[in-house]
Amino acid sequence: MVKAADRAKNPARSSVWLEKRATRGGGGPAGLDRDRIVAAAVRMLDEEGLAKLSMRKLATELGVTAMSLYWYVDTKDDILEYAMDSVYGEIDLAAVDAAEDWQTRIRLLALDYRRMLVRHGWMSPSAGQYLNIGPNSIAVGHKIHDTIKETGLSLDRRPSAMSAVFQFVYGYGTIESQFGRRAAEAGMSQDEFYVDSVNAFRNDPELTDRIEGLREILDERTSHDDLSALWDRDFGYALDVLIAGIEVMVAREAAEEAREAAEEAREAAEEAAEK
C-alpha cells in the first residue's frame, strides 16, 4: 500500500503503478469494480474539480459506502493516478499510426493532447504531482518518442524537440482550459468573458500609456466573434512554426554531417596523395 506519508517521503518512487498491493480476502461489493470507480471519479473531477474529490463523495456518487472503495484502491491518490491514465487513453494512437508522415503525426498527437487537457481541467495541475507511468501514459510517450525519432534528429536533440512541441501543448491546453473554467464560473460564454476582460483594462484611462503599443494586437484579437476559432487558429499556426523549426534543424544537422564527411574525405585523399 502506498500511503500519503510514503508519497511525501519518497515522491519519486511512489505510484499506484509501482505498488505491490495485497490481495483482499473475500469478494468485493456487488456491481463495483475499479473501472466503474475511475469513470465516476473522472466525471466528478470534470464537473467539480480536484478540490471537491473525496472518497466519501465518490462513494455517494456510486451509491456505496466509502469502505467499499477500499477493495479496489487504497487512497485518493490512487484514484487520481488511475483517472489520469484513463484520460490519456482518449488520445487516438491508431489515427497517429495511420498518418503518412511525421509532421502529420505530430499534429495529431498535439491536437489530441490539447483537447484532452481542455476537456479535463484537473489534468494540468495533477500531471506534475505523479509519475504518469500508467499503460496509456506510457503508450502516448512511446508514440511521441517514435514520431520525433522519425524526424531524423540525432538522439541528443530529440528530447529538446519533444519539449518544444509538447510542453507548448501542455501550456496552451492549460491556459485554454483554465480560461474556460473562469468564464463558466462567471456565468458567461468564453466570447463574452474574453471581450469583457480585455476591454476592462484596454479602456481603463490609468493604463492608457502602458498598453499603447498593444492596441493593434488587442483590436485584432477582440475583432473575432468566435473565441474557439481563435484558439484553433493560434494553436495551428504555432504548431506549424514548431514543426518548421524541427525541419530546419534536421536540415542543418544533415548539412553539418555532409560537411564533416566531405572534410574527412578530403583529408583522406590528401594523405593518400602524400604516400
How confident is the model over 89-110, as pLDDT tens digits?
Answer: 999 999 999 999 999 999 999 9
- Taking residue 256's Cβ as centre, other Cβ atoms within 10 Å add up to 11
Average pLDDT for the chain: 90
Region 34-39: mean pLDDT is: 95
Query: Is the domain of 49 the same as that of 125?
Result: no
- Asked whether residue 119 falls in the same domain as residue 154, the answer is yes
> What pLDDT was estimated at residue 255?
93
Does 26 have pLDDT greater than 80?
no
In terms of domains, do 78 and 121 share one? no
* Confidence bin at 2 (pLDDT 50/70/90): low
Per-residue model confidence (pLDDT) at position 22? 66
In a domain, 41, yes or no: yes
Residue that finishes a domain, picked among 28, 59, 87: 87
Q: What is the pLDDT of residues 59-71, one digit of tens each?
A: 999 999 988 898 8
Q: For residue 121, give the CATH number of its domain.
A: 1.10.357.10
Q: Which three cell numbers stand for residue 184?
A: 463558466
CA–CA separation, 54 vs 6, rounded Å?
A: 19
What span, in angstroms and rounded, lies between the C-alpha atoms of 90 and 141? 14
**Average pLDDT of the segment spanning 132-158:** 96
pLDDT score for 7: 63
Residue 161 has pLDDT above 70, yes or no: yes
Q: Give me the domain span that covers residue 52.
A: 4-87
Separation of alpha carbons 257 and 164, rounded Å: 23
Domain boundary among 31, 63, 87: 87
Least confident stretch, 9-13, 64-68, 77-81, 261-265: 9-13
The predicted pLDDT at position 27 comes to 60
In the structure, what pLDDT confidence band is assigned to residue 50 with cuts at 50, 70 and 90?
A: very high
Instruction: Please report the pLDDT score of residue 272 as a whole number.
Output: 83
pTM: 0.88
User: Are 34 and 148 in the same domain?
Assistant: no
Task: Kindly state whether residues 165 and 51 are assigned to the same domain.
Answer: no
Query: Among residues of the chain, what percentage have pLDDT more than 90?
Result: 65
Domain count, the chain: 2
Evaluate whether residue 33 is within a structural domain: yes
d(C-alpha 65, C-alpha 186), whole Å: 35
What secondary structure, in 3-state letters, does the chain show? CCCHHHHHHCHHHCCCCCCCCCCCCCCCCCCCCHHHHHHHHHHHHHHHCHHHCCHHHHHHHHCCCHHHHCCCCCCHHHHHHHHHHHHHCCCCHHHHHHCCCHHHHHHHHHHHHHHHHHHCCCHHHHHCCCCCCCHHHHHHHHHHHHHHHHCCCCHHHHHHHHHHHHHHHHHHHHHHHHHHHHHHHCCCCHHHHHHHHHHHHHCCHHHCCCCHHHHHHHHHHCCCCCHHHHHHHHHHHHHHHHHHHHHHHHHHHHHHHHHHHHHHHHHHHHHHHHC
Given a cut of 90, whether residue 240 has pLDDT beyond it is: yes
Alpha-carbon separation of residue 166 from 70, 84, 114 (angstroms): 35, 17, 9
Per-residue pLDDT at 5 = 59
| 67 and 14 inside one domain | yes
